[in-house]
Every structure is written in C-alpha cells, then in structure tokens.
Amino acid sequence: MEWRRGPVIGRGSTATVSLATVVPSGEHIAVKSTELSKSEFLQREQNFLSKMNSPYIIKYGGFSVTEETYNLCMEFAPGGSLFDEIQRHGGRLNEQRIKFYTSQILKGLNYLHMNGLVHCDIKSKNILIGKDGFAKIADLGCAKFVEKFDDNKNFAVSEFCGTPVFMAPEVARREEQGFAADIWAVGCTIIEMATGTNPWPELNDPVSALYRIGFSGEVPETPRWLSGEAKEFLRKCMRKDPNERWTAKELLEHSFVSEVIESHSCFNEEVDMSSPCTVLHQGIWDSTLSPENSTHRVSSLNSFRRKDSEIVWKCRKLELG
C-alpha cells in the first residue's frame, strides 16, 4: 500500500507528524517520522500499537523504513488533540465535556492495563479526537509492560519516562511507575480540562517540579467550580499512596462517569470534524521538513490519524541529588 506525504501537522522532540494520503483511495492518514538512528521511541510505539485493538486507542496502520527515515502510519484524528479541544472552548471545558472525555480515556487505559501496559505519559496533548468526536489515547513511545502484574496493585517499571508536571509522586521519587501512575495523570488531565493549564502551572523548572511533586506531600489544587461529585472523583485519582488510588476499572463504575452517554447529542453545540482545516492551527501547516509528493510503501494499512508531540522528559537522565 502506498501513501503520499502532505503538510507537517505536528513536531516534537523525537518525531515529525505529517498528513498523508493513501494512494489511490485518497484516505487521509497520519505519518510520524524520524531519523532511523533516533527511532527508538517510534519503534517502541509501533510495537505496542500493532498489538492494540480498541476504539479508545489510536489505530495502527503500518510502518516503512528508508535508508535514513523510520515512518509510523496511524489513524488520522481530524479533531486534533484534547489540548486543541480545550483551546477551542475558550481555555476550559464544561463538566459535561470533562465527563465525556474522561470516560473514554479511562476505557482506553483500562484496555491498556488489562493487557499489562502502562502508558507513562497521559496528558491532553497525547489524547486525540477522532472523526467520531471520541477521545483516543495516542503516543505510546514511553509505554512499558509492567514487570510485576498481580491482584495486589504491586506494579512497577524500572525505567521512568513522561512529562514532569503530570507525574505521580512515586514516579517523581523514582520509586515505581505502574498503573496507578497513569491514574494520577488522568486526574492531572481532568484539571487541565477544567482550567486550561497543567496541574502545577507555577512550576516551570523540571527539577523543581519533580522535587515538589515527589517530596512536598502536596497535591494539585482542585478547580473550585467543579461539582462535589467531580471533586470526589478527582480525589480517587490523586491519592498520594499509589496503592490507594482507584483503578481504571473502579473509576469507570464511579457515578461521575458511569452514566455518560457517548453521543454528541448530549452537547448543546454541534461538533464539526469534517475538515482538518477546522481544527489544526495554520501555523503548524509547514511542510518544509519533508517533500510534498514523495511516495512510500508500508507493510500494512487500515484506518488512520494525526499526532501532536511535545518534549518528553526522560527521568532516567535526571538526577535529584
């Protein structure tokens, strides 16, 4: 199956994402590309995505390798990222929408966790909005299989990865990064949806952020305007002891999300996902990094998406002293 590369729609520290067109069907896909010599994270993501099959995880579409480039093909999500969605609604989402997207994020996480996989970098920029308007977990470049997997919630991975201000206290202390760390990050993402900022907006330095998160005993401030039900749900996500945090499965049974109807009819306004131009900022439609009309062949192809990336802090490179 062949595809033709179009404009760049996202850039990160490890890869560039382009909108591409399948030849000859004309279907849009997203192609994430990086130098072959620096493709460790992309190859890891390909390995995980190729094993996933959930409507709440971005779909895998194959890969190709040239002499200098590694390309990962994925479902194109015309709604952009959840971060984009927050900006489209004036910098914060109402509680109705927060419930809607939180339910879908948890369903995706529950699928990953049931398969023994920790995402390690849940945040709004790694959640994409598909053509159906539903949230899909993306960017599995930091994901890892757990080293311990039992019924007592004793899960850990030996290498630490992610974005500092979304990390759980035990990750900031470099003790463990298991399923419970993803749940903490869900709580951080709820705060992000409610406020338009990360849960620790006053912390700009990664070292300071990790020290405060890991050793101060503080938790992020809960948005005051949320309902009591939402605040109680948030507390289940952000318990300091990872063994006391609710699991994704348990949270899905909480009244905050258990009765969410997955239909946009529950929203007051209509959602238009018909064109990439309605949701992607013109400033990132930049194709200077890749030729517009180059054609590539991939090993497999289904249905597809786009991706926004962000600098990822690899904690194994960070010494807290």
pLDDT tens for each residue of 207-220: 889 999 999 999 99
What DSSP string runs through 171-188?
HHTTS--SHHHHHHHHHH
Give residue limits of the domains in the chain: 2-78+274-317, 82-266
* Range of lowest pLDDT (30-39, 90-99, 153-162, 226-235): 153-162
Q: Is 205 a catalytic residue?
A: no
DSSP 3-state assignment of 127? strand
| Cβ-contact 269, 204 below 8 angstroms | no
Least confident of 55-64, 142-151, 203-212, 227-236: 142-151
Q: Per the structure block, which two tokens stand in for 128?
A: 């994409």
The yes-or-no verdict on residue 179 having pLDDT over 60 is: yes
Give, as one character, the DSSP assignment of residue 225: T
Q: What is the pTM of this model?
A: 0.82
Question: What Cα–Cα distance (Å) separates residue 88 from each residue in 31, 83, 196?
Answer: 24, 9, 11
Give residues with Cβ within 8 angstroms of 316, minimum separation 6: 159, 160, 161
The pLDDT assigned to 159 comes to 73
Check 84, 121, 139, 182 and give the catalytic one: 121
Confidence of residue 28 (pLDDT cuts 50, 70, 90): very high
Does residue 24 have a cis bond before it (omega within 30 degrees)? yes
Q: What are phi and psi of 19, to 5 degrees?
A: -80, 135
Q: Encoding tokens for residue 146?
A: 């757990």
Give me the pLDDT at residue 317, please. Answer: 35
Q: DSSP letter string over 226-286?
A: S-HHHHHHHHHH--SSGGGSPPHHHHHTSHHHHT---SGGGSSS----S-GGGTS-GGG--
Domain 2-78+274-317 has CATH 3.30.200.20: yes
Angle at the Cα of 183 (from 217 to 49), degrees rounded to 5? Answer: 140
Q: By three-state DSSP, how is residue 207 classified?
A: helix
E strands present in the chain: 2-11, 16-23, 28-35, 60-65, 69-75, 117-118, 127-129, 135-137, 144-145, 295-297
The CATH classification number of 82-266 equals 1.10.510.10
For residues 110 and 133, the answer to whether their CB atoms sit within 8 Å is no
